[in-house]
Amino acid sequence: MKKKSFKRKFISLSAAFSISICAVTLPVIAGWQQIGCMGDLNNDSEVNIADLLLLSKHILNKLSLTSDNSYHIDYNYYSVNGSDPDDSLEYLQTADINQDGKIDIFDLIMMRKYVINQWADPVYQWSEDTDTSSSTSTDTTTTTSTSSVQDSETTSSTTAVTSEFIEAPVKDLYGSMPSQNNAELVIFYVDFPDCKYQYDPSAEEIEKIAFGDENTEDRNYPFESMSAFYNRSSKGSMNIDGKVFRYTTKENKSAYEGDIYHVNLINEVFQAFENSEDFTEFDGNGDKIIDTTLISVPTEAGADNWWPAAGQYGGTNDLKVDGMSVGHVIVGNAQIESKTDYKNFNSSYLHEMGHCMGLPDFYLYNGEKDFEGMHGSAGYDLMDEANSDLSAVSKLMLGWFKRSQVEIYDISAGTQTFTLTNAQTENGNCVIIPYGKMENNYYSEFFVVEYTTLDNNNSSIKKDFWWKSTGSGIRVIHVNGEISDNSGWKYWKYASGQNEATNNDAGKRLVRIIDDTDTDNLYHTGDVIDSSISGFNWYDENGNQSVDPKIKITVGELNDDSYTITISDK
């Protein structure tokens, strides 16, 4: 387990400490503009001792924060239905750092972390203005992504997410594991008196497997560790750490079966270690919720009760551990097979952690032919039935693109040319083609275009899926990212299995690859994509793909691991 020294540090309020971590001079990219950062209460573009003093005085009732002590934020950004901003809530936004609707000691704790680690969460506002530095030609606009992007700042203990990264839409949905900055994972490697592991690794060995450093020579690569996989996929915007506990249950296996939420098992493992471990260490975002708990049992336990699955803690009462609530829990029978064979252990639980961050399954619950959600050489995503990297859709939702790496096609600007860089690299980007106006946080219908390859986190595809079509090229995914709100519980409206999913997944769907066939459905130089290709149409009101987008995508040359694409009228 990596040292967590930053969590035990404290800072004197009288220290002369000032850091510039909140610059707001970045250009407008795709309509989003950074207007400040969380915790900057005096509008000096820094989070420092002055802000700590202001917040401390407010908490002690010695000062009342007003709109003069915070940025004026357009509350539409936080609203799904586009309602008018509530001015009475404006002053809360930069002081309510953990966004729980209260300004209290927990916000002060997070602010201290900001000062110590020299970063703060950015605040964005949607702008209808265009970037004056871009071309204004009404005939042909050429947009090229930045080929060299400054790396995220790092400290000795954590990867800092700067204002370069987009806000993560999954923050609006319930996922207890943060997809940006620090995330903590508690692993209980559990067996039963009557069901033991054939290979029984130590807690220290499991920690290295789960949280170890990148190793491209490891036979399990790209699943050599959970931390390394997500760090590559997120471009360094997410850092996973945690601790492993080895445990044998009090009762035989059958005593814990039939409980679909595994409540008794969860309660037992936490109670076994509560007196010896400080579980407040496993709250990466300071919301007083243990980010994610993983309980792994032997494969021999069987699939009926122990197939890997993730969900909220299902007890009738809120379980408190050291004053912390228990967030998402993963329970499954994906085990470590040997000292050198742990690929399935990591890949299975990385998929489940996607749920803990707010992503749904992309495979189909009602598939007529099979359950695979996306087919062909373009149809690989960790949230589908694939041991692969996450697609641009998943990375958009998780906030794993820098703002300069998300470009939006503007149909009113005429023909536009974009450069797409290898998605499996740190400079990987995407282009979004919206259906009408692009809604806040991507809760709308759009196409996302990226250049995918078999490199890095996708390097196992060719080996694992040798009987399927694989390759590199341009792929287009049709997204309907609308969300529903059921008494405050938000979820992806057209994810498979939801009530709103139409025609047993044949209609509107959260993600759908165009030309969804078991063929090479990636595109290369000279290919033209238009409505003649199955799936390259918008949904009509009945969920049928019948609305012609009236544009075409022409794939240009491949140079220096980047393709150009030109989008024009059909």
Kindly report, residue by residue over 493-536, the tens digit of the pLDDT: 999 877 665 666 778 999 999 999 999 999 999 999 999 999 99
Query: Do 351 and 414 reside in the same domain of the chain?
Result: no
Residue 382 included in any domain:
no
Query: Do 260 and 305 reside in the same domain of the chain?
Result: yes
Residue 310 included in any domain:
yes
Residue 187 included in any domain:
yes
Please give the pLDDT value at position 122: 67
Of residues 146 and 307, more confidence is placed in: 307
* Domain ranges, residue 451: 392-569
Q: Who's near 271: CB < 8 A, 6+ residues apart?
A: none
Q: Is the pLDDT of residue 22 over 80?
A: no
Gap between the terminal Cα atoms of the chain: 55
Please give the pLDDT value at position 500: 67
In contact, 119 and 165? CB cutoff 8 Å: no
Please give the pLDDT value at position 127: 52
Please give the pLDDT value at position 425: 97
In contact, 140 and 416? CB cutoff 8 Å: yes
In contact, 227 and 211? CB cutoff 8 Å: yes
Query: Do 198 and 265 reside in the same domain of the chain?
Result: yes
Query: Do 467 and 554 reside in the same domain of the chain?
Result: yes
Please give the pLDDT value at position 370: 80
Query: Do 404 and 480 reside in the same domain of the chain?
Result: yes
CATH number assigned to the domain comprising residue 102? 1.10.1330.10
CA dist list (Å): 458 to 147, 167, 252, 295: 21, 25, 40, 27
Of residues 376 and 437, more confidence is placed in: 376
Residue 274 included in any domain:
yes
Residue 126 included in any domain:
yes
Residue type, 553: I
Could you tell me which of 543, 522, 545, 520 has the C-alpha nearest to residue 532?
545
Query: Do 323 and 431 reside in the same domain of the chain?
Result: no
- Picking from 68, 100, 133, the residue at the C-terminal end of a domain is 133
Query: Do 323 and 449 reside in the same domain of the chain?
Result: no
- Picking from 357, 373, 406, the residue at the C-terminal end of a domain is 357
In contact, 450 and 401? CB cutoff 8 Å: no
Q: Is 403 helix (H, G, I), strand (E, B) or coil?
A: helix
Of residues 371 and 153, more confidence is placed in: 371
Tell me the pairing of strands 415-421 and 528-529. unpaired
Q: Is the pLDDT of residue 135 over 80?
A: no
Please give the pLDDT value at position 52: 83
Token pair for 540 = 């009509």
Query: Do 349 and 485 reside in the same domain of the chain?
Result: no
**Biggest alpha carbon–alpha carbon distance for the chain:** 72
Query: Do 325 and 200 reside in the same domain of the chain?
Result: yes
Of residues 91 and 81, more confidence is placed in: 91
Q: How far apart are alpha carbons 216 and 232 in whole angstroms?
A: 12
CA dist list (Å): 361 to 323, 384, 399, 491, 560: 32, 6, 18, 12, 34
Tell me the pairing of strands 289-296 and 324-332. parallel
Q: How far apart are alpha carbons 266 and 261 in whole angstroms?
A: 9
Residue 387 included in any domain:
no
Residue 386 included in any domain:
no
In contact, 419 and 148? CB cutoff 8 Å: no
Residue 296 included in any domain:
yes
Task: Give the least confident one: 162-171, 183-192, 241-250, 418-427.
Answer: 162-171
CA dist list (Å): 72 to 48, 64, 93: 20, 16, 9
Token pair for 85 = 């901003």
Tell me the pairing of strands 430-434 and 445-452. antiparallel
In contact, 327 and 176? CB cutoff 8 Å: yes
Q: How far apart are alpha carbons 202 and 207 in whole angstroms?
A: 9
Query: Do 401 and 549 reside in the same domain of the chain?
Result: yes
Q: Is the pLDDT of residue 185 over 70?
A: yes
Task: Give the least confident one: 345-354, 473-482, 488-497.
Answer: 488-497
pLDDT (tens digit per residue) in 281-302:
999 999 999 999 999 999 999 9
Query: Do 456 and 558 reside in the same domain of the chain?
Result: yes
Please give the pLDDT value at position 160: 46
- Picking from 71, 103, 133, the residue at the C-terminal end of a domain is 133
Query: Do 331 and 398 reside in the same domain of the chain?
Result: no
In contact, 449 and 408? CB cutoff 8 Å: no
Radius of gyration of the chain measured on its C-alpha atoms: 24
What does the angle CA 296 – CA 302 – CA 304 come to, to the nearest 5 degrees?
Answer: 105
Total domains, the chain: 3
* Share of the chain residues as helix, strand and coil, in percent rounded to the nearest 5: 25, 25, 55
